[in-house]
A and B are shown apart, each in its own frame.
Chain A
């Protein structure tokens, strides 16, 4: 599903954000990417979307060789992915329904399909009753659920979320994570970058820990981990 082979990322200003990353995520997995601020989590996520290119090594996503693909193929790579951001990124002048439908419009889906899929996605995230409301009339948790519905409406096989609960209170964060876990149990591969220690520890999923651009731990049923211990392993 996703594979990083000896991937190094050096930003144009010289910062080395990732060093020799090897990582494989199979279909149906649920993976937490953890690590302190600046460790390179977002960089890793961005490389899956081809928002950033590898300086060295290869990235494979969903059958595409992301490192070598043409610019005009990128939209088709992204259509197979559902993406969720920390800041939700909803369109303020569109209703909840329109925001979700928009994701289908731009991939030129049939109107009939749109009318069927959008209510299903909204039902999945529990927002059927808020379909005609504008984003600014929703709580942060509800907005993130709309973003989730939008990410899921085109039935992606991989869902990518960079700190999806970063702007939410602990209780709401829990709801969102449970929802992500439920989505995963329906067959979607899920990769989440997060700082939510308690949630990571409680869910007991695969945990990949990054420190200073290197993978320092990769555990099934892992814990968020002790930063001091990771630091020692690394040095």
Chain B
């Protein structure tokens, strides 16, 4: 195709989309809404995956002492752990270690810790078991030690999350397929309106000897424009929404001591998401428009 023809086709595509403002806007909103919902599922899945990795690196068990215990009491707890035959080894996490870790996790937001010291944090022990299959029993035994506040048991969480993310993925695929098909039909209808408005022109073009693709391209471009703009809107919504929620939840998590769960940063995955959005949006638009012009091309 020649450059001036490409220029003509793209210009006509924009003119079409602009002339049909209202329907174009409606279609853009539908595409955007579908992609936002898609994005939510996607981000949840990404985060689950990411945190699963983090969880797997966690010790099998972590025993948290009551944060009011004095050193002697901590010593007894440590002795009890040492004496347990199910345990292969352990590392002690002092209050200072825990405090440093929190500080590091907060990064730029470390100022919230100003005026605080490590005393609000508990001493904990990371534990490696002899046999992972004994973990349930080990948890029971460790819980019964005097001065132990809680025992976290990441393997259990991992299993739950794995199951959850499987179902989430399945549901998201179905939901997204439905949404995209709906979006495609709406784009197709929008373009049908343009095609209908320009049917005289299409008819004349056919008589003068325009090829089918020459006639079709501007409408395909119109569909791509709609799909792409929908993708851009969706990306803006999802990246703002996610950053706001992510920051809030991250700091909440840290306060509640669940240090191993962390939201993936938008800037780490932003490019992948916008590319994916652009590809999906444009293809949905292009397919929708090809669907709508088939009928009118037969002269």
Contact = CB atoms under 8 A, between A and B. Distances in A.
B208 interface: yes
A72 B211 contact: yes
Contacts of A77: 209
B267 interface: no
A72 B207 contact: no
A107 B299 contact: no
A105 B8 contact: yes
Given A51-B299, A91-B201, A106 B208 contact: yes
A105 B214 CA distance: 10
A108 B5 contact: yes
A108 B7 CA distance: 12
Given A89-B203, A91-B200, A91-B201, A107 B5 contact: no
B68 interface: no
Contacts of B207: 49, 78, 83, 89
Interface in A82-141: 83, 89, 91, 102-103, 105-108, 111
Interface string A142-181: 0000000010001000000000000000000000000000
Interface string B186-226: 00000000000000110111111111101000000000000
A78 B208 contact: yes
B4 interface: yes
A75 B299 CA distance: 11
Interface residues of A, number: 22
A94 to B, nearest CB: 9
A224 B85 CA distance: 118
Contacts of A89: 200, 203-204, 207
Contacts of B214: 106
A79 interface: yes
B201 A79 contact: no
B136 interface: no
B2 interface: yes
A108 to B, nearest CB: 5
Interface centre among B2, B204, B214 (most CB of A within 10 A): B204
B4 A103 contact: no
A91 B208 contact: no
A106 B203 contact: no
A186 B293 CA distance: 40
Contact of A107 (B8, B204, B206, B209): B209
Contacts of B210: 75, 106-107
3 A-B pairs closest in CB distance: A79-B209, A78-B209, A106-B210
8 contacts: A51-B299, A72-B212, A77-B209, A78-B206, A78-B207, A80-B209, A83-B208, A106-B209
Interface of A: 49, 51, 72, 75-81, 83, 89, 91, 102-103, 105-108, 111, 150, 154
Given A49-B207, A91-B200, A107-B209, 15 more contacts: A72-B211, A72-B212, A75-B209, A75-B210, A76-B209, A78-B207, A78-B208, A79-B209, A80-B209, A83-B207, A91-B201, A106-B208, A106-B214, A107-B210, A108-B2
